[in-house]
Chains A and B, each alone.
Chain A
Amino acid sequence: MSSASTSCILLQLADYRTETRRHAHKVVQLGQHLIQRGWASSSTDELWTVLEQVATAAVESGQLSLADVCASRLATQFPDSPRVALLQGVILEGKGEVLEAKRWYEQLLDKDEHNTNIRKRLITLHLTSPSSSSTTLTKGKSSTSTSAAGGLSREKGLEMLVEHLDTVYNDIEGWSQLASVYAGMGLYPQSLSALSHLLLLAPHNPFHLLHHAETAYTLGDYPLAWKEFSRVVEMCEGVTKGDKEGSGGAGRRAAVGAKLVSGVRRSL
């Protein structure tokens, strides 16, 4: 792996950018290889996207010094860029300074209220804070009390997310996030309705239909779950279809779901 050429590493990083999986440690490893080879001193156009990618991955892997270095490099090159400002906010989040991050994002939103990426980070900040009703139970913890004092709560995040989706209807990630927030609170009917909006926006994607089917199953709506699981298997053209490793596609998971539903229906 360390003997791979620079162009191989760059291709791999470009693949990771389009793939949208969450494996920050791999990105950081590749980024460190590149920096050790001194590639960061060259000035290609790709350098800046790679720096941004490595900086966000470094925050998730706890390597805040690397993230700071990348961010300062980007800030000197692009002084007033909203993307760099977003990155600096993410670094603040990673350092644990949530109130600072909240202030930073709100400042940026005051300057430009149409920046959806900043709004999404602010929503994430709210959603990953404890819910406002739980602070009475955890009095001793300093972090909980500071975030509650700063006005960060999960309910506020939920409210902001619903407002955001009212304005920007076709945000697929937003609907998916809303569904998972409701599911996390145990509100499965609301989660199901959020997923139905998602299905309107991306009807070709069997994974969203699978998510809908699994939520219907959790809710106890077995006829709906059965219909949807079969529909996913039909969409994926069978159960065993997939790439060479056989791990791709939603067909197999949907088939397992259909088996579960048929087991329940027999016992009813």
Chain B
Amino acid sequence: MVSWPTPAAILIRLAALVFLHAAYSAWEVRGLAKTAGVEIPSTLGSPLPVDIIAQAFISFILLATGVIWSATPLKKISWASEMSKRCIDSEDSRLSFANVRHRGSVLFAETD
């Protein structure tokens, strides 16, 4: 069954691609600058063009947003909320002392 990925998954994939592209462009620009002997003025501490830095930051923010968006819903931590999900059958079951000789062998036997 083919299904569309969720919007959060699409966002993660796109943002990751753009982020990697920003990293690749930064590497390429540094390599080209070195061979051409050109000194790029440093912005925010690194000698890269402004647009590459902007691309890296924005794609990172989008990637982080996508990851947080796709996280499983938070669970409550109080005992009361945990206990409200349990049912009395699971609390009183006493599995180690369970009797195995009951009518289950009659009710669920293989029908020959």
Which residues from chain A sit less than 8 Å from chain B, CB to CB? 19-22, 24-25, 28, 56, 59-63, 90, 93-94, 96, 117, 120-121, 123-124, 127-128, 173-174, 176-177, 180, 204-208, 210-211, 235-237, 241-243, 247-251, 253
Contact = CB atoms under 8 A, between A and B. Distances in A.
B90 A62 contact: no
Contact of B95 (A20, A61, A251): A20
A207 B91 CA distance: 7
A204 B81 CA distance: 12
Nearest to B86: A248
Given A59-B100, A94-B100, A127-B99, 11 more contacts: A20-B90, A20-B93, A60-B102, A124-B98, A124-B99, A128-B101, A176-B92, A176-B94, A207-B88, A207-B92, A247-B87
A57 to B, nearest CB: 9
A173 B97 contact: yes
Nearest to A61: B108
Contacts of B100: 56, 59-60, 90, 93-94
A104 B30 CA distance: 77
B72 interface: no
B43 interface: no
Contact of A249 (B84, B102, B109): B84
Chain B interface size range: 20 to 34
A19 B105 contact: no
B74 interface: no
Contacts of B107: 25, 61-62
A62 B97 contact: no
B95 A22 contact: yes
A60 B101 CA distance: 7
B106 interface: yes
Nearest to B80: A237
A56 B96 CA distance: 11
Contacts of A177: 94, 97
A146 B34 CA distance: 95
B86 A207 contact: yes
Contacts of A210: 88
B79 A241 contact: no
B73 interface: no
Q: Shortest 6 CB-CB distances between A and B: which pairs?
A: A62-B105, A249-B84, A61-B108, A207-B91, A62-B109, A120-B96
A62 B106 contact: yes
Nearest to B78: A237
B89 A63 contact: no
A180 B99 CA distance: 13
A206 B83 contact: yes
Contact of B101 (A56, A63, A96): A96
Given A206-B83, A250-B83, A28 B108 contact: yes
B110 interface: yes
